[in-house]
Chains A and B, each alone.
Chain A
Amino acid sequence: MSYLELLRLASPEAVVVFTALVVLSVSLLAKRAVSACGFVAALGLLIAIGAVLLLPRSATLFGGMLVITPLNSLFKIICLVLAFFTILLAQAEQTLRHPGEYLAIILLATVGLMLLVGSEELLMIFIGLELLGLSLYVMAAFDKTDIRSAEAGLKYFLFGSISSAFTLFGISLIYGMSGTTGLAAIAAKLAVTSVQPLLAAGIVMTLVGFSFKIAAAPFHLWAPDAYQGAPVPSAAFIASGSKVASFVVLGKIVLVGFAPVQGSAGWHAMVAGWSPVLAALAALSIVIGNLLALAQSNVRRLLAYSAVAHAGYTLIGVVAGGRDGFSAALFYTTVYAITLVGAFGVVGVVRRETGGDDFSNFSGLASRSPLLAGCMVIFMLSLAGIPPLAGFFGKFYLFSVALRSGTNQGLLWLVALGLLGSFVSLYYYLLVLKAIFVEEPAITGARSFDHIPPGRLQQATVTLIAAAVVFLGVMPSVLASRILAAIP
């Protein structure tokens, strides 16, 4: 294995790291740093996507530390696209005093995502998690003029570092019991030995760490403050890229690494293993997320609690397990991430124009900016699962897979809970839309958006994302069949 070969196989990551360094130097040299850095960063991400497309179909380096499979490549592209949208949204964010550094950190976080997605070895996964986590803590606290941003960063950091400790401890226990950190090797080991209590503890602790990353209840407490306080692009990235990558890894760890100890979460056939644990987390997330979202009057907090609920829905797919379950979960989380970036884009514009993101800031948006209002309708209804939008197909796919798995429709209880949750969620998503469409503008001095040039790029981005959400709803097989085909 020569270094040249390594560089070839890790070229997408290398391109992104290189872009981050270029962005940093450009920000020192260029006069109009914001747009120059943004351009370089966006270009770098596009090149990285090209590099991913040029990778061989499959390759394994260092016993699974860096693995190239169709699935990994697909999700590297999805992460890069999400980062690309985040960078476009960051262009209009004027409160950030050091745009070059901010963009460089986004790029480093993207590298973390790619490592996370592209590895099937626990140590490498942990390194990816840490690189991602540390970048996200900084991104959350980046707005130095806003005290809430500092709060968001600190909270995210405290919860995040504790959960990292859990993950690491869990990994060390698993290593101790199985003598390996490669996922496939762990599975082979688990298949022949009985589950000891220490191993169970290791598995649960690893799951705790990931539950934090995907904001599943009861490990969701950081989410509302982080979503609300962090700069809008950071929040969008935390809610989208970080979540997608975490689900990919979580799915791989439990479905590949812990496959022999799946257990069963069927109503009358509970068998100990990770799937009842995840089922409990899913149920709790759906209930807590949806109920708490009902009481919110701030759109970003509402999105945060709804994110908890969506993590719950997605977990249903993982609990269902198998190729279909994993593919449904990945489809759902991808669609969710895209939708949420768009929703945060709208929040970003509204926040810039009216100085806040409460319901009252959104009131009368339909008359101020019909375009943004229309996009927000698409995002909210997709999250609520209304056809013909992508979220609806995602839910149908997820629930049908869950019902089909196991014997005698054992997961019906989880599906019923999920449906009840999405029924509740329609109410609060409609509240947002009610503010936008029905209520009169409450903020005086809120201007019509069409006259503000910097918003153009943001509006175009949001419109593009909205079009993607509609497209994925009408033609879901474009993405769904790719994901399904990529899963071995």
Chain B
Amino acid sequence: MIAWTIYLTFAGAVMSLLLPRLFARWIALLTTIAGLVLGLIVFVGTPVADLAHFTTIVSLPWVPALGMNYHLAIDGVSLTMVLVTGIAAVSTVLFSWDIDHRQNEFFFWLLLVVAGCYGVFLSADLFLLFVFYELVIVPKYFLIAVFGSTNKEYGAMKLTLYSFFGGMFVFVGILVAYVSAGTLDLNQLAQFQFSSQLQSWAFPVLFLGFAVLAGIWPLHTWAPTGHAAAPTAGSMLLAGIVMKLGSYAGLRVAMNLFPQGFQMWSRWIAVLAVIGIVYAAAVALRQSDLKFVIGYSSVSHMGFVLLGFATANALGVSGAVLQMFSHGVIAALLFAVAGRMIYRRTHTRDLGKLAAMNLSQALPFAAFAFVVAAAASMGIPGFSGFAAEITILIGTWKSYPAAVWIAGAGMVLVAAFTLRALKQSFFGEKGSDVVMQEGRVATGPDWNQQPTITIPEKIGACMLMLATLIIGLYPKLLLDRILPAVETMRFLK
């Protein structure tokens, strides 16, 4: 049944392109809700024990001559990612509710990204996974280049080329695995013994290729520029789900296929991850564009995911998967507030200018949402960020005690730049030249016509806040499903 998330979303994409403009956003909303509901039904309905193994849902021959199958499967890790995709997708559509420029096209590209993400998370065939993985790249280009802002063509091209550059390494890695093992089935590949000489070079090639999309330092620079250039919906999807494609595939493919290669290189992944955490947080501290701050914070948080992987123990890796969920929700919320609630009403994202507005009075709901998002992002207990990062750090303590100290310092930096952004954007000293009124900020002659925070925006924000809160208070909900699935993977030490 979960396979229908893919079909429905593709069908929705085509329909939103072809049907009259009036329907586009409703179709997008309905398809994304359907995806989320399907995910939730499976989440509730599947016994936890069934999620420990990568269980086949659909398997049809596709290109028999080359051994390609249309093979979908699910386990706890996949299900977690499908859920976060559903949540982020619904809220993304809600936050794009009043897009009026080339609406059909916008929702077409948007749904294509979502469908591709579902596909990656459910694929059990290496070729199929790669098809979906690459399929996501190009729609992002159009979303950003056509509908973006700030330096959009540069940001879009940079992001696309970086993704495709990573894709090139992935391609080599996949071909090597396919040619040596003679199969493309992920479950069979995971049982195959690759020679350790091959693993030693194929693992870094494959993992690095995927990690480009996950924003690994030093190949992360596409992320902040891309996020800043993208329309709000684009940044939400990009930070919320697309970056997770890289880390998910790194886990599912690179680490699972080449366990020996992974053990050889895990130390270096930890080093890059820790550098990423600290470096991106330090850079974020100096940014003046709010979206850049959030963009770098994404890189920093994805560093935790990679650190969790590098621990190579069940706790650390499960924490990383939980962090993927948690960051998907938090990043979407942060970008929604920055890109939609603030930028649309003030037409600036410059922290200096925002500080002069004291937006917390004008946009109290936005301020509330941003405070929640910031708290979750900083890792305040009670929110999902804390649950995920503490699990990762416990896992790390077993493998790399030194890394815990540095990552801990990184967390302090994260708190510092988040508080700085929070203070300047919403709680600055009010300047004399900005006019405002309950719910509105003066930006042009028609400022009092502008809507206050709309109902769809409120629903979307509440959904995301609820998700981070539920998982923060009761992480067992997901961890119970993730941990058994991770424990069956064979790369664990």
Question: Are A and B subunits of one complex?
Answer: yes
Interface residues of A (CB under 8 A from B): 366, 381, 386-388, 392-393, 396-397, 399-400, 403-404, 409, 412, 415-416, 419-420, 422-423, 426-427, 430, 433-434, 437-438, 476-477, 480-481, 484
Which B residue's beta carbon lies closest to that of A425?
Answer: B164
Q: Are B138 and A386 in contact (CB under 8 A)?
A: yes
Closest 9 CB pairs of A and B: A387-B131, A477-B63, A403-B179, A419-B168, A404-B179, A438-B145, A423-B168, A387-B134, A403-B175
In the complex, chain B residues whose CB is within 8 Å of the CB of A416:
172
A202 shortest CB reach to chain B, Å: 35
Q: How far is the CA of A109 from the CA of B138 in the complex (A)?
A: 38
Q: How far is the CA of A49 from the CA of B64 in the complex (A)?
A: 28
Q: Per-residue CB proximity of B121-146 to A under 8 Å, as 1/0?
A: 00000010011101101100110011
Q: How far is the CA of A434 from the CA of B161 in the complex (A)?
A: 14
In the complex, chain A residues whose CB is within 8 Å of the CB of B64:
477, 481
Q: Are A476 and B63 in contact (CB under 8 A)?
A: yes
In the complex, B442 has a CB within 8 A of chain A:
no
**Neighbour of A400 across the interface among B145, B157, B179, CB < 8 A:** B179
Q: How far is the CA of A404 from the CA of B164 in the complex (A)?
A: 24
Q: Are B172 and A480 in contact (CB under 8 A)?
A: no
**Neighbour of B65 across the interface among A434, A437, A477, CB < 8 A:** A477
In the complex, chain A residues whose CB is within 8 Å of the CB of B178:
400
**Neighbour of B179 across the interface among A397, A409, A476, A477, CB < 8 A:** A409
Q: Can you list 23 A-B contacts with CB-CB less than 8 angstroms, sorted by A residue number?
A: A366-B105, A387-B135, A388-B131, A397-B66, A400-B179, A403-B176, A404-B179, A412-B172, A416-B172, A419-B168, A419-B171, A419-B172, A426-B164, A427-B157, A434-B145, A434-B153, A437-B145, A476-B63, A477-B62, A480-B63, A480-B65, A481-B63, A481-B64
Which A residue's beta carbon lies closest to that of B178?
Answer: A400
Q: Are B172 and A386 in contact (CB under 8 A)?
A: no
In the complex, chain A residues whose CB is within 8 Å of the CB of B165:
423
Q: Are A392 and B175 in contact (CB under 8 A)?
A: no
A411 shortest CB reach to chain B, Å: 10
Q: How far is the CA of A387 from the CA of B141 in the complex (A)?
A: 15
Main secondary structure of the interface of A (DSSP, over half): helix
* Size bin of chain B's contact surface: 20 to 34
Which A residue's beta carbon lies closest to that of B63?
Answer: A477
Q: Are A399 and B175 in contact (CB under 8 A)?
A: yes
Which B residue's beta carbon lies closest to that of A385?
Answer: B134
Q: Per-residue CB proximity of B186-204 to A under 8 Å, as 1/0?
A: 0000000000000000000
In the complex, B16 has a CB within 8 A of chain A:
no
Q: How far is the CA of A409 from the CA of B173 in the complex (A)?
A: 13
**Neighbour of B130 across the interface among A366, A387, A412, A481, CB < 8 A:** A387
Which B residue's beta carbon lies closest to that of A404?
Answer: B179
B447 shortest CB reach to chain A, Å: 28
Q: How far is the CA of A396 from the CA of B142 in the complex (A)?
A: 25
Q: Are A386 and B65 in contact (CB under 8 A)?
A: no
Q: Are A409 and B138 in contact (CB under 8 A)?
A: no
Q: How far is the CA of A415 from the CA of B169 in the complex (A)?
A: 11
In the complex, B160 has a CB within 8 A of chain A:
yes
Q: How far is the CA of A434 from the CA of B144 in the complex (A)?
A: 11
In the complex, chain B residues whose CB is within 8 Å of the CB of A387:
130-132, 134-135
Q: How far is the CA of A393 from the CA of B135 in the complex (A)?
A: 13
Q: How far is the CA of A61 from the CA of B169 in the complex (A)?
A: 49
In the complex, chain B residues whose CB is within 8 Å of the CB of A437:
142, 145-146
Which A residue's beta carbon lies closest to that of B62?
Answer: A477
In the complex, chain B residues whose CB is within 8 Å of the CB of A393:
63
**Neighbour of B134 across the interface among A392, A415, A438, A477, CB < 8 A:** A392
In the complex, chain A residues whose CB is within 8 Å of the CB of B167:
423
In the complex, chain B residues whose CB is within 8 Å of the CB of A433:
141-142
Q: Are B145 and A386 in contact (CB under 8 A)?
A: no
B104 shortest CB reach to chain A, Å: 9
B437 shortest CB reach to chain A, Å: 36
**Neighbour of A396 across the interface among B127, B146, B161, B168, CB < 8 A:** B127
Which B residue's beta carbon lies closest to that of A483?
Answer: B65
Please judge, given known A-B contacts A430-B141, A477-B64, whether A386 and B134 are in contact too, CB under 8 Å.
yes
Q: Are A388 and B135 in contact (CB under 8 A)?
A: yes
